[in-house]
């Protein structure tokens, strides 16, 4: 009981510092002013990008409770996800071969390539090298991006932008529970 009261006190203190932007309240002009880095390797406004870039923000990740990058980008139109209890596979533009190891999708963190050097597989599920809580936004640029990025960008580019330390006001607490042989998992609000 004491742990729950400490957790509740921390949550109350930290929620007072939370600055959440509600995208549903923004106008079209404001939405077009969101910045995208993944399309041209430098920061641009979404209205100036020469590609159909989709942006998933931190607020959307928290609202929908996605636990992996694959779950988040599977919510976009034209993107599908399969999971074989070992790896998550993402298909785009109608092509998603199970066991393909995401070799036709380029995965970057802050613009740096993170595809496996041996098999060129892009990790997007639970094997992704970064916790979803450290993600500021996810940019998905469908279509061939090989002209800008090189190989592996046949189906698209997934660029994960991380949070900055200055964005965290104070501290954050997250907890999750997963029973053995169960797929139920989720963050506990505390």
The predicted pLDDT at position 153 comes to: 78
Q: Which of 138, 120, 134, 136 is nearest to 69 (CA)?
A: 138
Q: What is the pLDDT of residue 24?
A: 66
Say which DSSP state 78 is in.
T
Measured distance CA(91)–CA(183) in Å, rounded: 22
Query: Quick one: which of 68, 63, 65, 105 has its CA closest to 83?
Result: 68
Spell out the alpha helix ranges (H) of the chain.
Answer: 2-15, 28-31, 58-64, 69-73, 146-149
Q: Are 69 and 124 in contact (CB under 8 A)?
A: yes
Nearest to 149 by CA among 35, 52, 39, 54: 39
Tell me which CATH code domain 21-165 carries: 2.170.130.10
pLDDT recorded at residue 174: 73
Q: Spell out the per-residue pLDDT of the chain, length 190, in tens.
A: 555 554 555 555 444 444 445 666 777 677 666 677 665 666 777 666 656 788 899 999 989 989 899 999 999 988 988 888 888 888 887 777 777 788 888 899 998 999 988 888 889 998 899 989 899 999 998 877 766 777 777 888 899 999 988 877 777 777 766 667 665 555 544 4
CA distance 122 to 104: 8
Cα–Cα dist 177/122, whole Å: 26
Residue 135 in tokens: 């993600």
The ranges assigned to domains in the chain are: 21-165
């Amino acid at each position: 009981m004491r742990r729950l009261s400490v957790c509740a006190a921390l949550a109350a203190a930290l929620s007072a510092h939370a600055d959440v932007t509600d995208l549903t309240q923004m106008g079209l002009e404001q939405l077009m002013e969101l910045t995208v880095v993944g399309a041209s390797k430098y920061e641009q406004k979404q209205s100036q990008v020469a590609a159909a870039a989709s942006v998933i923000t931190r607020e959307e990740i928290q609202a929908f409770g996605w636990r992996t990058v694959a779950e988040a980008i599977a919510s976009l139109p034209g993107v599908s996800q399969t999971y074989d209890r070992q790896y998550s596979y993402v298909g785009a533009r109608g092509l998603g071969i199970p066991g393909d190891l995401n070799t036709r999708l380029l995965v970057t963190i802050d613009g740096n390539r993170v595809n496996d050097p041996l098999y060129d597989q892009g990790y997007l599920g639970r094997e992704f090298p970064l916790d979803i809580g450290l993600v500021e936004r996810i940019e998905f640029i469908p279509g061939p991006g090989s002209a800008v990025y090189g190989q592996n960008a046949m189906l698209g580019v997934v660029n994960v932008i991380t949070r900055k330390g200055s964005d965290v006001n104070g501290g954050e607490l997250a907890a999750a529970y997963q029973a053995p042989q169960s797929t139920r998992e989720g963050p506990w609000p505390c």
